[in-house]
Each structure stands twice: as C-alpha cells, then as structure tokens.
Amino acid sequence: MDFQKAIALIDSCSKALISTHVRPDGDGCGCMRAMMDAMAGLGKQVCPLLLSPPASWYAGLFESAVPVLGNDISKQQLMDGAFEDCDLIILVDTNSMVQLPGLDLWLRKVRGQKPILVIDHHVTGDGLGDVQLVDPEAAATGEIVFGLFKAAGWPLTRPVVEAIFTAISTDTGWFRFGNADSRIFYAAAELINAGARPDVLYRRMYQSFSPSRLRLMVRMLEHLDLFEEGRIAIQYILRKDFDDTGASGADTENLIDECQRISTVETAVLLVELSDGRFRCSLRSKGEVDVRAIAQKYGGGGHILAAGVTLNGPLEAAKRLVLQDIKEQMSKQR
C-alpha cells in the first residue's frame, strides 16, 4: 500500500474534489465522509460530489446534503470549470470510467493536469489514479481508508469511525458475506473501541425502510421465479412498480439479498427496468457461480459474489440471457 504517497499527495493539495461511483452505497458514502473529515481536519477545502442521489439511510452520513451531478450541478457547469480550482481528485470505491457517468468526460479532460487519488477494492479498473490505494483482498474500501487514517495519524473522531464502520458493515452485508474475513472483524473491533455504535448504525442502515420501499420489496418478491431445482432465483421490478408504490431507484438497494434466504438459492438475479427500457441487472452468488464473469461479458463488473451490468430489454430477453449464462457456469462446476 502506497499510504505515504497518498498522504504526501493530500498534504500538498489545497482543495480536493471527492466522489464515488454512481448509485452510491454505504462503502462509497462512508469513505467519502471519512475522507472529507480528514481533509477538513488538515485545513483543506473539500468539494464532495455524488453522481446520483444517495439512499436516505446513507444521506444521513453527511452533515449537509452533498451536491448531485445533473441535479445541483449540471454536466455543462462541470465541463465549463465548476471545479477548476480543485488541485486534487479523490475517487473512492471505484476505479472505472463506466461507474462514473457524467464525471468521466471531465476526468478525461483534466487527467494529467490534476492528480487523481484512487482508493478502491475492486479487481476490475481503468487505472485512473496517479496514486492508487487498491487492494482487491479488502472486503470494503472502508478497510483501506481505515488503514490510511492509521498510517497518517488522522483523528478517529466518532463521525469518522461511524462512517468507516458503515462502509465495512454494508459491503459485507453486516458481516454475513463470504468477504467478511478476520481482517474485517478486527477492523470492526477497533472501530467499536474508537466509539462506533453498531446498534445505532444497524438501525440506521437496516431498519429504516419507508412504507414505499417495503411495498416495492413485496412487488419484487411477487415476481420471484426459481430455476434449476431452486438454485437460481430471478426477480424483476418494472417502472410500473415504482409508480404504484411511490418508491425510488435508490430503494432497490440490497433488495436482491432477500431471496438468498431461500435455502436452495445459490445465485440471485434482480432486473430493474430503467427509464430507457433497458434493465439494470444485479447478480449475487453464494460462491458456486462467479457472477463477475457474467457481468463482465456484457460490459459490467463487480466482485465474484456481487456484480452488476446493464442489459437490453425486453424483460424476457434479459432474463433468458442471464439464466443461460448462470446455467453454463453451473455446468462447468460439475
């Protein structure tokens, strides 16, 4: 880990733009918050920017609402130099242009002029950083950010430890997924010793549904189909389901995990209809199938156990495509 290079880069900057991948999750938002506090503590100016609105249970991580590209700042303003005075760009929880829609064009423009620091744990990436803290073995980017804080000696305030705890706990499905190794439990213990309150955070992350979100989940479960003796679960959510329930796109986060409670289910798929008629396809595996390989085949990415990709409609075509790929992977395992 090039912690010292990252620390030197941060020390030498005066104003940093901090962002994360589109559809920001707990890891992305938590790492942003922690890095924002570190920078502020060093007397640096910080410009956080999100590429799509965060779910309400992550928005609370920030002291004030973070500007969203396309809503609060237009892509034109970005290209016209809205962040021209930033002398560092920090990207957390992604290293891929496809995960940075809207920001990508600007990044291509300023690359080489402004240094970029990438902190990420994904295997796939475009090598966007001039300095990169990338560890595919880390269960969450939060684990790397925690390492950076300790290496730099930055203060571990309660907001910081709770932001990092949020990052590592959400990316491990509250320490249930296969990536929840001993390293992450040690990190969790250290964060609790430093003041993180798991009960408070659990309530904020996992007991914060709106009635609309619960109704959307019911719709999704009504659309549950099982294949191959129940080993594959495929579900979908249509635009109509959002309209009928009043739920938003951010409300779909983690809903895919519900069907994994079925004992036979090894691989889970959730197809969410986008406004352009395509489908955002989320994939989860309990370990038997490498879902990243499937996502990558169609231009997506992720991890072996959790990946995502956008597929063309109609629904039946997308379902057939992904079902066939999962079956193929399963037959290779035998």
* 112: region left, alpha or beta (phi > 0 left; psi from -120 to 50 alpha): left
Helix (H) or strand (E) holding 7: helix 3-12
User: Contact letters (x/-) for Mn ion, 119-148, by CB under 5 A?
Assistant: ----------------------x-------
- Give min distance, CB of 26 to Mn ion, in A: 8
Chain residue whose CB lies nearest Mn ion? 27
Number of residues that bind Mn ion (CB under 5 A): 4
* 270: region left, alpha or beta (phi > 0 left; psi from -120 to 50 alpha): beta
- Give min distance, CB of 48 to Mn ion, in A: 17
- 93 vs 253, which CB is nearer to Mn ion? 93
Binding to Mn ion (CB under 5 A) within 223-262 occurs at none
d(CA 273, CA 114): 37
Binding to Mn ion (CB under 5 A) within 265-304 occurs at none
- 201 vs 234, which CB is nearer to Mn ion? 201
The one-letter amino acid at 251:
D
d(CA 126, CA 149): 25
- Give min distance, CB of 140 to Mn ion, in A: 5
d(CA 322, CA 328): 10
- 171 vs 273, which CB is nearer to Mn ion? 171
d(CA 303, CA 291): 7
Nearest to 260 by CA among 298, 230, 293: 230
- 50 vs 247, which CB is nearer to Mn ion? 50
- Give min distance, CB of 103 to Mn ion, in A: 17
Residue 30 φ/ψ, nearest 5 degrees: -60, -45
| Rounded alpha-carbon distances, angstroms, from residue 235 to 46, 251, 302 | 40, 15, 19
- 140 vs 233, which CB is nearer to Mn ion? 140
Of 9, 30, 34, 93, the one binding Mn ion (CB under 5 A) is 93
- 27 vs 251, which CB is nearer to Mn ion? 27
Taking residue 151's Cβ as centre, other Cβ atoms within 10 Å add up to 14
**171 near Mn ion, judged by CB under 5 A:** yes
Chain residues that interact with Mn ion, rule: CB under 5 A: 27, 93, 141, 171
